[in-house]
Amino acid sequence: MKRIAFISGITGQDSSHLAEFLLEKNYKIYGLIRRSSTDNTWRIKNILDRIELITGDLTDQASLDKAIKLTQPDEVYNLGAMSFVKVSWDNPEYTFNVNAIGVIRLLEAIKNFGKQDTRIFQASSSEMFGKVQETPQNEFTKFYPRSIYGVSKCAGHWIAINYRESYNMFICCGISFNHESYRRGLEFVSRKISYGVAKIYLKMADYIELGNLEAKRDFGYAPEFVEAFWRMLQLDKPDDFVLATGENHSIREFVKTAFECVEIHNWQDYIKQNPKYMRPAEIDYLLGDSRKAQKILGWKSKTSFQELIYLMVNSDIERLKRGDKIE
Ligand code: NAP
Ligand code: G4F
Instruction: Note down pLDDT in tens along the chain; length 327 residues.
Output: 999 999 999 999 999 999 999 999 999 999 999 999 999 999 999 999 999 999 999 999 999 999 999 999 999 999 999 999 999 999 999 999 999 999 999 999 999 999 999 999 999 999 999 999 999 999 999 999 999 999 999 999 999 999 999 999 999 999 999 999 999 999 999 999 999 999 999 999 999 999 999 999 999 999 999 999 999 999 999 999 999 999 999 999 999 999 999 999 999 999 999 999 999 999 999 999 999 999 999 999 999 999 999 999 999 999 999 999 888
**Ligand 1 atom closest to 126 (CA):** 43
CA-based nearest residue to 216, from 192, 247, 191:
247
Residue 272's φ and ψ, nearest 5 degrees, are: -115, 135
Q: What angle do CA 42, 262, 248 make, to 5 degrees?
A: 75
Ligand 2 closest atom vs CA 213: 30
Q: Is 298 left (phi over 0), alpha (psi -120 to 50) or beta?
A: left
Distance of CA 85 from the midpoint of ligand 2 (Å) = 7
DSSP 62-111: HHHHHHHHHH--SEEEE--S---GGGGGTSHHHHHIIIIIHHHHHHHHHH
- With contact defined as beta carbons under 8 Å apart, do 110 and 76 qualify? yes
Q: How many residues does the chain have?
A: 327
Amino acid at 174: G
Taking the C-alpha atoms of residue 19 and residue 32, their distance in angstroms, rounded to an integer, is: 12
Q: Do 228 and 235 touch, CB atoms closer than 8 A?
A: no
Q: Report the pLDDT value the prediction gives residue 326, as an integer from 0 to 100.
A: 85
Strands 208-210 and 179-180: unpaired
The pick from 189, 284, 287 for probing ligand 2's pocket by mutation, whose C-beta has the most ligand atoms within 8 angstroms, reads 189
Burial 159-188 (b: 16+ CB within 10 A, else e): bbbebbeeeebbbbbbbbbbbbbbbbeeeb
CB proximity list for 2: less than 8 A, separation 6 or greater: 26, 27, 28
Residues in the ligand 2 pocket, defined by CB under 6 Å: 83, 85-86, 125-127, 177-178, 187-190, 192, 210-212, 215, 217, 251, 277, 279, 282, 286
Instruction: Please give the backbone phi and psi of residue 251, each rounded to the nearest 5 degrees, phi first.
Output: -65, -35
CA of 11 to the centre of ligand 1 (A): 8
Tell me the β-bridge partners of 123. Answer: 174
Pairing, β 249-250 against β 216-217: antiparallel
Longest dimension (CA), the chain: 59
- Cβ distance 138 to 289 under 8 Å? yes
pLDDT at 73: 99
The residue type found at 230 is: W
For ligand 2, the distance from its centroid to the CA atom of residue 70, given in whole angstroms, is 36
Residue 37 confidence (pLDDT): 96
**Nearest of 132, 122, 138 to residue 246 by alpha carbon:** 138
Asked if residue 167 lies in contact with residue 229, where contact means CB atoms within 8 angstroms, the answer is no
Position 314, amino acid: N
How far apart (Å, rounded) are the C-alpha atoms in residues 238 and 129? 22
Q: How far apart are CA 176 and CA 293, in angstroms?
A: 11
Which of 83, 128, 241 best tests ligand 1's pocket when mutated (most atoms within 8 Å of CB)?
A: 83
Find the distance separating the first CA and the last CA of the chain, reported in whole Å.
Answer: 36
Ligand 2 centre to CA of 29 (Å) is 30
CA of 220 to the centre of ligand 2 (A): 13
Ligand 1 centroid vs 294 CA: distance in angstroms? 25
